Amino acid sequence: MNRSLLLAFLLSTFVQLPLIAQSSDDDAFFIRSIYDEAMTNGDAYNWLDYLTNKIGPRLGGSPESAAAVEYVRQMLDTMGMDTVYLQPCMVPHWERGEPEVGRIVSSSRMGTVDLNVLALGNSVGTGPEGVTAEVVEVQSLEDLAELGRDRLEGKIVFFNRPMDPTQINTFNAYGGAVDQRVYGASRASEFGALAVLVRSVTTRLDDIPHTGVTVYQEGVNPIPALAVSTRDANLLSDLLVTENIRVYLRNTSRMLKPKLSYNVIGEIRGSENPDEIILVGGHLDSWDVGRGAHDDGAGCVHAMDVVNILNKVDYRPKRTLRCVLFINEENGQAGAMAYRDASFANDEYHLAAIESDRGGFTPRGFTFDAHESVFNQKFRKVLEWLPLLEPYGLSLDKGGSGADISRLKPQMGLLVGFAPDTQRYFDFHHASTDTLEAVNPRELQLGAAAMASLVYLLDKYGN
């Protein structure tokens, strides 16, 4: 929330400028101790090194995801929590198969040109022979109906709308482009297309293709869906202006039978209000390229380090602190649904749930969500803490929380998304470049400190 809106908000609700009065010296001192601990003895970066370099990518259903489940369980076990357990769920098991091939086979100007392509997650394969077809470039899902079956049947549809570079928050630009990746295959299939090629949803102009989930809607014939690097997308688009390009695509991806996997949960029972749960979480699975460092290894080690840091500064929570590492966020959210189902079945109340799933970059603040009937009251309470968090470069804004926790909204608690700087996230997102080298240790540890500070305030004062 910017300062002018903040002023208007506070004045409109007759809160008499409580910001200064309510920021007690004790809280400032305690938050300082949290930051000191995080920046000198935090373990987030070390854990992330292990997750990314010793274990690797962790697609749901893969052996690596099972290794990750076991690793974080063991790490939580070292923290003296009251209970650490696995919450089972069945997850989709998709395999990429052999390295994909993408090739322009009939450019009179360029001859044969290899393209950097990568099957989208959950995509079917082309079959071992591959697919060769003419290419029709479109800018949006809406373009398909305009072109119609006559122009699309038997073709490869090439979705080429870039992320909008003028959006300051890159997540807004992502939201404005990702429909092509998620729904492009289903929609193009309805018009008889053979396959789709989707411009990588990234802020970079380079040769790295970015994967991510594609969703086959019920009743449509699933067709292969591949991402193409932004530089190759530009090349293809250029050639299409003057030539009737044919492209060859081959991938052997396939969906196997669902597998048993787990959310990993560690809990410290609250000393005074054990029925009020404060959740900190991230998701343990990643795509199968790169190492899932920012997405979402960072979120997992953030959540784990919150418990770790509060432990080390000898803080015993009054409310129940629960660290949840969700499985299968990327291609199904079976973990999130299993967690929700169990939570509602047990009549739980999450006072607050905080998810870190926007990377391990310099913290800029948090975004808050709640059922609309309680949002203003809850957000106003949170804003009273702004003077305590602002010295650490944090702002507090209305906004989304996280894919794994948003299903808890009917419990009427506060849902919080950790909001780091967004400029670099989509450089690495779902790509081979999402490795530990893309994570700065200080930026990562500051995230753990920011989350631990908010948890401390939520635990001490409620919401």
Q: Which residues contact 67 (CB under 8 A, 6 or more apart)?
A: 55, 58
- The conformation of residue 439, written as its DSSP 8-state character, comes to S
Query: Is 267 part of the annotated catalytic residue set?
Result: no
- What is the C-alpha radius of gyration for the chain, rounded to an integer number of angstroms? 23
- Which stretches does DSSP call E strand in 7-58? none
Q: Which residues contact 319 (CB under 8 A, 6 or more apart)?
A: 270, 272, 273, 274, 276, 277, 278, 351, 458, 459, 462
Give the nearest distance from C-beta 437 to a second copy in angstroms. Answer: 11
Nearer to a second copy, 5 or 220 (CB): 5
Strand partners, 352: 278, 414
Give the nearest distance from C-beta 163 to a second copy in angstroms. Answer: 11
Return d(Cα 35, Cα 310) in angstroms, integer.
Answer: 10
Binding site for a second copy (CB under 8 A): 2-4, 6-8, 17, 19-20, 23, 35-36, 39-40, 165-166, 168, 170, 203-204, 362, 364, 386-387, 390-393, 421, 423-424, 427, 440-443, 446
Nearer to a second copy, 19 or 182 (CB): 19
Sign of the alpha-carbon dihedral angle for 350, 395, 317, 321: positive
Of 37, 137, 267, 329, the catalytic one is 329
Give the nearest distance from C-beta 1 to a second copy in angstroms. Answer: 9
Nearer to a second copy, 20 or 345 (CB): 20
Nearer to a second copy, 170 or 308 (CB): 170
Of the candidates 277, 320, 274, 264, the residue with the CA atom closest to the CA atom of residue 412: 277
Please classify residue 260 by burial: count the beta carbons closer than 10 Å to its beta carbon, then call 0-12 exposed, 13-18 middle and 19+ buried.
exposed
Nearer to a second copy, 239 or 454 (CB): 454
Would you please indicate which residues are annotated as catalytic (active-site) residues?
A: 329
